Amino acid sequence: MIRISFAAVLLASAAPALAETHTVSPGDGAQERLQEALILAEPGDTIMLEAGRYTLTDGLSLDVEGVTIRGAGMDGTVLDFTTQEGSGEGLLVTSDNVTLRDFALENPKGDGIKSKGADNIVYYRVRVTWTNGPDPSNGAYAIYPVESTGVLVDGVKVTGASDAGIYVGQSNRITVRNSIAEANVAGIEIENSRNALVEHNIATRNTGGILVFDLPGLPVMGGGNVVIANNLVVANDTANFAPPGNIVAGVRRGTGIMVMANESVLIEDNIIDENPTAPIMVIAFTQQFEDERYNPLARNIVIGENLYGRGGDDPQLEGAEMLMAAFGGSLPPVMWDGLGSLYAVADTAGWTLNLPEPGKGVAGASPAPLSVPEPDGEFDRSGIGAPPELEERI
Amino acid sequence: MRFAALLLACGAVALGGTMAEARLVAPEVSDLAITQDGFPRTLDEYGFFIHADVQIPTADVMPYELNTPLYSDGADKLRFIYVPDGETIKANADGLLQFPVGSAIIKTFAFGEGSDRRLIETRVLLNRADGWLALPYRWNEEQTEARLALAGGRIPIITPAGEEISYRIPNKNQCKACHSLDDAVLPIGPKARNLAPELLELLSEQGKLDAVPDVSRPMPRWSDANAAKEPLARAYLDVNCAHCHRPGGGASNSGLDLRWEQDAPFARGVNKPPVAAGRGAGGLLVSIEPGDPDASILVHRMNSNEPGVAMPELGRSTIDEEAVALMRDWIAEMGN
């Protein structure tokens, strides 16, 4: 019986029967030995990184399908890029069905781990840390899957990114969960992506906790169908340290969850505390654009039940003093610019700028308490999140 | 001039003793080394050169040059193509030549002048039945052999500009980082628009090219002091940047398209905000601010050597000062 089911598992497995494990250890020549293992791996193989600190001078890259890179834990195996001399990221993955697990990157000069056009990728218990904390000279993104279908990020920890800790861009079928994003400009950012589930994460001490954006002028457009649920979004109070010019350089210190120019986003069952500008912010894209495919408004955004603690008590907004006085000392949890369409469960405390049109600044604003309809029916969650088969790899 | 120097060097080798004599037996290119599975361990196995150490190719291997080449820290680059007997390259208007299976493109990087010249690495692109394969070979100290360097490596070099650098030999994957379009490995250099008409004619006469393509917009020669700034800058960006910054390329997600044939100014970076540039943006708001090079991210990134800021990300450790000056002039000129 046992034998039969074991055989069945083998038959069901997509990996070739002769999948091998290649063990790499730290020490002299680690750069060449590790890179050579990544190049010579065959589909289905595992690259096992023994515990220790690997001193690396150049970016690593993987371009073989179905490979697992596995370390001895995200504090046990550390790829140290402090003396990196070249490449735009620590590790670049360009092949499908890759699993990255149980190791860490420290101080990559550019991005941490970028996976581009790498479908069905799993990031599991991976850590990317810029060890000097928030600093504009840190790299931009820690975990950076882009232009991919099927992304599962689980149990990762990211600290110090000068743009976004976990950034998923121009992708589809995404889950980001059980992860910690601390002291980045943006903790977790979902951009120009569809069908994303962001749940059970901790976003703290970032400038902004969780961001859902759609931007114009990119190859993949039309972000939407995003669920942000059961996250702890607490004390995102680090001053914005993004180099000017980046889109997140405009994020106000103390933003909990922010939705900009996206459609069908559900925010519910989160604990949102100590975010001094706004626990939740829903706004339109305000800059000029020429892209005819682009809709700058936030549409069909749904605010469900959330637990709101303190917040909106030190907002980095124009006229903050007057606004706080008008709302009785601090701003209510949900801030909306009044454009597009927003729904909120009954008794959601919020306020609106009541802007008459997008892209004209706050000149025509007439702030008022939030009054929006309740959600009309169930939020459509079909197809949201990473494909279930990715679960089998963790 | 260069060819004369090579002949002299060749003569020196011929007089150098029995080893050299033995190697004067002209090898033939090994079609098998190019086409069969696996990675030949040394450059010799291909038989591309009569005297590899002085880069004298066998009769079937043709040297060529590009109008505007890719910058590689000022390295001298020796380029060759090989097309198997009886096969023909197909011309594709202005674009990339279509090489038959079994072809090879060979590029040797060297630093130093005359007898001080040292070969550093030779990169080969092999067109196999299942697509192109890119492999780097590293020359030894004695300059007698180039061995496969799958994982790449670093070598201390003094550039022609006198800078001491840690020169990077790319690993096999890094070859692909530039030579990749929609996940397939492709040559990037030999586009008809970037080749001398004389070479195209010669290849055609030899029966190696199906027809001399009617190139509508040839690229200017980089060395042409009289060339207008715009085509020169655009050619430089096409050659040095557009293998990534194009649809299907490694940097496609940036939306920046620096190809020669891209005519929309926004896609080329004019008034275009960055997307995922991070600190690479250097606090600037757009890739190209017409009339203001100092406010243009493109100039900022070309003018940096810092990983995470420097562009291109791979393939250079020094700033191409000449190119930065050209970009500055071109962008300044746009403001008029």
The DSSP line for B106-131 is EEEEEESSGGG-EEEEEEEEEEETTE
* Mean pLDDT value across residues A187-204: 98
Q: Using CB atoms, which residue from B168, B172, B278 is nearest to A39?
A: B172
Question: A249 vs B230, which has greater pLDDT?
Answer: B230
Contact B273 A245 (CB under 8 A): yes
Q: Which residues contact A108 (CB under 8 A, 6 or more apart)?
A: A59, A81, A84, A89, A90, A128, A139, B308
pLDDT of residue B183: 80
pLDDT of residue A282: 98
pLDDT of residue B26: 64
Prediction pTM value: 0.87
Q: Using CB atoms, which residue from A40, A87, A140 is nearest to B279?
A: A140
Contact A86 B313 (CB under 8 A): yes
A182 touches B: beta carbon within 8 Å:
no
**What are B192's two structure tokens?**
């008809």
* Alpha-carbon gap: B167 to the closest alpha carbon of chain A (Å): 10
Distance CA B315, CA B108 (A): 14
Q: pLDDT confidence of A253, banded at 50, 70, 90?
A: very high
Contact A116 B276 (CB under 8 A): no
Spell out which residues of chain A touch residue B147, defining contact as CB-CB under 8 Å: none
Q: pLDDT confidence of B25, banded at 50, 70, 90?
A: low
Q: How many CB atoms lie within 10 A of CB A83?
A: 11
Contact B253 A169 (CB under 8 A): yes
Residues 25-44 of A with CB under 8 A from B: 31-33, 35-36, 38-40
Question: B169 vs A363, which has greater pLDDT?
Answer: B169
pLDDT of residue B68: 94
CA distances from A198 to A164, A212, A248, B296, B313 (A): 15, 10, 19, 36, 32
**What are B205's two structure tokens?**
């006469």
Spell out which residues of chain A touch residue B133, defining contact as CB-CB under 8 Å: none
pLDDT of residue B129: 95
Chains A & B: contacts with CB separation below 8 Å: 138
For residue A204, pLDDT beyond 90: yes
Q: How many CB atoms lie within 10 A of CB B232?
A: 21
- Mutate which of A87, A97, A111 to test chain B, going by most B C-beta atoms within 10 A? A87
For residue B16, pLDDT beyond 80: no
Q: How many CB atoms lie within 10 A of CB A4?
A: 8
N residues, chain A: 394
Distance CA B229, CA B275 (A): 28
Burial B278-291 (b: 16+ CB within 10 A, else e): bbbbbebbbbbbbe
**What are B174's two structure tokens?**
């890094």
Q: Report pLDDT digits (tens) over A224-251.
A: 999 999 999 999 999 999 987 778 888 9
Contact A39 B253 (CB under 8 A): no
pLDDT of residue A2: 43
Residue with tokens 């400038």: A207
Spell out which residues of chain B touch residue A136, defining contact as CB-CB under 8 Å: 279
Percent of chain A clearing pLDDT 90 (strictly above): 84
* Alpha-carbon gap: A315 to the closest alpha carbon of chain B (Å): 24
For residue B296, pLDDT beyond 90: yes
Which of A39-48, A378-387, B123-132, B311-320 is the least confident region? B311-320
A217 touches B: beta carbon within 8 Å:
yes
pLDDT of residue A17: 57
Q: Using CB atoms, which residue from B168, B172, B276 is nearest to A140?
A: B276
Which residues are bridge partners to A99 per DSSP? A68, A122
The interface pTM score, or ipTM, of the predicted complex is 0.79
A92 touches B: beta carbon within 8 Å:
yes
Q: Report pLDDT digits (tens) over A260-274.
A: 999 999 999 999 999
Contact A85 B274 (CB under 8 A): no
Contact (CB, 8 A) for B316 and B310: yes
* Alpha-carbon gap: B299 to the closest alpha carbon of chain A (Å): 15
Contact (CB, 8 A) for B120 and B139: yes
A57 touches B: beta carbon within 8 Å:
yes
Q: Which residue of A has its CA nearest to B173?
A: A61
Spell out which residues of chain A touch residue B167, defining contact as CB-CB under 8 Å: none
Residues 280-299 of A with CB under 8 A from B: 287, 290
* Mean pLDDT value across residues B265-273: 93
Contact (CB, 8 A) for A61 and B177: yes
Side by side, the strands of the sheet bearing B104-111 are B61-64, B76-82, B104-111, B118-128, B131-139, B146-148
pLDDT of residue A362: 75
Q: Using CB atoms, which residue from A40, A137, A169 is nearest to B276?
A: A169
pLDDT of residue B311: 93
Q: What is the mean pLDDT of chain A?
A: 93
Residue with tokens 């069901």: A12
Q: Report pLDDT digits (tens) over B43-63.
A: 999 999 998 888 999 989 999
